[in-house]
Amino acid sequence: MFPYIIRRVMLMIFMLFVLSVVTFLLFNAVPTDPAMLTCGKTCTPQIVEANRIRLGLDQPLPFQYFEWIKGIFVGRTYGSGTQTFDCSAPCLGYSFKNGEEVTIMIKQALPVTMWLALGAFILWMSFGIGSGIYAANRKGKWQDRTIMAITLIGYSLPVFLIGLMMLIFVIVRAHLLPYPDYVSPFENPLQFLQTMILPWISLAILYAAYYTRLTRSQMLETMSEDFIRTARAKGLPEKRVIRKHAFRAGLTPIVTSAGMDLAGLLGGAVITEYVFSLPGLGRLAIDAVKDYDLPTITATTLVAATFIIIANIVVDVLYAAIDPRVRLS
C-alpha cells in the first residue's frame, strides 16, 4: 500500500510541473502584450515599458518561468532599485486590474467556493446514493420508474435555469429568504445558511440526478454477481447483502466520479456563483477573463487544475482502500 502511494505522489508532482509549464506558456501565448494590459486609460509608451521591466516581462521566457515558480514557493520582488514591490510566498502574481496581489484575491474567493462545493457535495451524495440504491432494489416497479423520471428531468435542467427559477420564486416573489449576500459561516452562520441553501440545492439537483443513475446501474450490476448469491446463501439479511456486499462492490466508479466532480467544483462553480452573486473562484476566473487580467487567469487555472490533480491521487488511494486487488499491482 505504501509504495503505491509514494508512486502516486511522485506522479502527481510531475503532473503539477507539466501543468505549471503549460499554464505559464498559455499566459504568454495570448495574442496581446501583457505589459500593455497593465496600464490604465492614461497610457503612454513610457509607462508600458517601465511596467514591462518592473514585472520582468523583458526577460527570456525560461527566466520568467523560474521567477514565477520561485514566487509561488519563496515569494518574489518586482522591480529594482527604489521602486520595488514585495510579493510574499505563495505569490501568484500581481493583478493590475484590481491593484491587488492575486494570492489575496484567491484567498478571499476560495472559501466561498469551498463551502458551496462541499455543501452541494454532501447533499447530492446522500440523495443520489440513497435514491439510487432504493431504485435498484425496486427495479421496474413504480418507485423505480418515478425516481428515474425525476432524475431525467433533474439531469436535463441546466443549473442557470434551476438557479434563476429558485431565485425568482423563493427570493424575489415569495420573499422566503433574503437576497443572497455571502458572509463567512464563522461571522454570521444564519446569513451564511440563508445565502447558501439555494445555491447548494440548485447545484445538487443536477449532480444528485447523475449519482442516482450511476448508483442504480452499479447496484443492478453487482446484485447479479455470484458473490451476492453466496451472501444470500449464507443467510444474510437482504439489507446487509445490499449494504455490505453489493454497495461496496459497486463503490469504485462512484468514488471516482465523486472525487472528480468535487474537484471540478472546487475550481469554481461558475454559473451558480454568478446566479447567486457568490464571490467565489469561478466568478473570479470569469471576471478575470472578461478583463484580460492575465495573472489572475493563470492563477485560477493553476488552482483549479491542482484540485483536479489532488483529487486524482485521493481517488487512487481510496481505490486501493476499497479494492485489495489494486494494492498489489
Partner 1 sequence: MSDVILSVKNLSVEFATEDGVVHAVDNVSYEVKRGQTLAIVGESGSGKSVSSLAVMGLVRSNNATVTGEVHFGGQELVGLDPEEVRKLRGLKMAMIFQDPLSALHPFYTIGEQLIEAVQVHEKVSDGDARARVKTMLDRVGIASAEQRMDEYPHQLSGGMRQRVMIAMALINSPELLIADEPTTALDVTVQAQILELLRDLQKEFGTAIVLITHDLGVVADMADDVMVMYGGQAVEQAPVRELFYQPQMPYTWGLLASIPQMHTSSLKLDPIPGTPPSLINLPVGCVFAPRCTHKDLVAGGLCLTTRPDLGAVSDTHASRCHLNEAQRIEIRRSRNIGKVD
Residues that bind partner 1 (CB under 8 A): 139-141, 225-227, 229-238, 240, 245, 248-249, 322-325
Which of 107/248 has CB closer to partner 1? 248
Which of 135/208 has CB closer to partner 1? 135
User: Nearest distance from residue 3's CB to partner 1, in Å?
Assistant: 18
Indicate the pairing of strand 94-95 with strand 100-101.
antiparallel
User: Nearest distance from residue 145's CB to partner 1, in Å?
Assistant: 14
Which of 91/133 has CB closer to partner 1? 133
- AA identity, residue 80: S
Which of 60/235 has CB closer to partner 1? 235
Which of 158/237 has CB closer to partner 1? 237
Which of 26/321 has CB closer to partner 1? 321
Grid coordinates given for 236: 444474510
Which segments of the chain does DSSP mark as H helices, in order?
2-29, 45-54, 61-74, 102-137, 142-156, 159-166, 189-223, 226-233, 238-240, 247-249, 251-266, 270-275, 281-290, 294-322, 324-328
Q: How long a stretch of residues is the chain?
A: 329
Pick from 142, 157, 261, 268: nearest CA to 205: 157
User: Nearest distance from residue 260's CB to partner 1, in Å?
Assistant: 22
Which of 107/229 has CB closer to partner 1? 229
The full DSSP string for 184-232 is -TTT-HHHHHHHHHHHHHHHHHHHHHHHHHHHHHHHHHHHTSHHHHHHH
Find residue 94's DSSP bridge partners. Answer: 101
Q: Which helix (H) or strand (E) holds 94?
A: strand 94-95
User: Nearest distance from residue 245's CB to partner 1, in Å?
Assistant: 6
User: Nearest distance from residue 239's CB to partner 1, in Å?
Assistant: 11
| Distance of alpha carbon 56 from alpha carbon 62, whole angstroms | 12
User: Nearest distance from residue 251's CB to partner 1, in Å?
Assistant: 9
DSSP secondary-structure letter at 141?
S
User: Nearest distance from residue 228's CB to partner 1, in Å?
Assistant: 9
The count of other CB atoms within 10 Å of the CB of residue 54 is: 18
